[in-house]
Amino acid sequence: MQFFTNINIKPLQPSITYHDKLLLIGSCFTEHIGNYLEDVKFRTLQNPHGILFDPISVCNSLTSYIENKQYKSDDLFYLNEAWHSWQHHSRFSGIDKEQVVANINESQNRAHDFLKKADWLFITLGSSFVYKLADNIQPVANCHKAPAQTFVKHLSTIEETTLALESSINQLFKFNPTIKVMFTISPVRHLRDGVVDNNRSKARLIEAVHHLVDKFENVHYFPAYELVIDVLRDYRFFDIDLAHPNYSATQFVLEKFAESSCDEETRTLMDEIRKLVIARNHKPFNPTSQQHQQFLSTQLQKALKLQQQYPYLNFEKEINFFKGK
């Protein structure tokens, strides 16, 4: 008896390998993918603006990386005893205005340099809803807990989203002609918008993204949203808020991602590295025991062997740990 609807995910061509540099931007689900790849030592850069949900914010951030926009203190505003940027996540906010600007521009420089040589750009879109400042209709990436009357909420049309994304993709391919793009739609349900409007929002994103996939050879789609909503389709795969996929659901999606996006050689190496990382995080009952010292010695030899086999990967943290440094 079959309990799951199967999705046929075509193997990605070309597949993702350890030689690739991967920039990931977008919603919180972007960071699930990014952390998964980073943990097994892919070369990644995640969300240089912080978490972004809507396509307009994603496009604006991408343009700023391409142009290497430098922010000024005038771009910040003061609220609740801290300085913020309307274009950035609150992780950039702070009480020192000049330090906030410095941190933002440091991230900008790093993103510009990374994107120029990146092999893949991952974009995870979360919502079609855009918030704009009521006084000048400027789109904002984060509301920073400002009063609701500060903003106008707008559900972007398919045409608006498609136009914004297509313009950004064209700009990106001029900046980095060899880069490939992978879109995903976040399976996180934005229930504060209501179930009906959440579904309208996701549907518009899906339609806009598939327009790009059909139009551009180097643009791809991974069905993270469909894997959770249509394959798992059960509240036991969500956290207590009934909106965020839980650990089991997230791991299921990530395993499907690796199966479809990486070749067998890469997946084998991922498994070896994951075992080494787990060993590094192991908490011994008796750190001074002979058994634990033998464990450290065995893991050190594995780390040294992997470092020799794959000199372009960095196992310094594991080697130093197993040496007791």
Q: Which amino acid is at 179?
A: I
CA distance 174 to 123: 18
> Architecture of 21-262 per CATH?
3-Layer(aba) Sandwich (3.40)
CA distance 303 to 284: 19
Query: What residue ranges of the chain have pLDDT lower than 70?
Result: 1-3, 325
Residue 86: Cβ within 10 Å count = 19
What does pTM read for this prediction?
0.93
pLDDT digits (tens, 9 = 90+) for 282-322: 888 888 888 988 998 999 999 999 999 999 999 999 999 89
Which of left, alpha, beta for 54 (phi over 0: left; psi -120 to 50: alpha)? beta
CA distance 242 to 226: 16
CA distance 245 to 140: 26
Segments making up each domain of the chain, as ranges = 21-262, 263-325
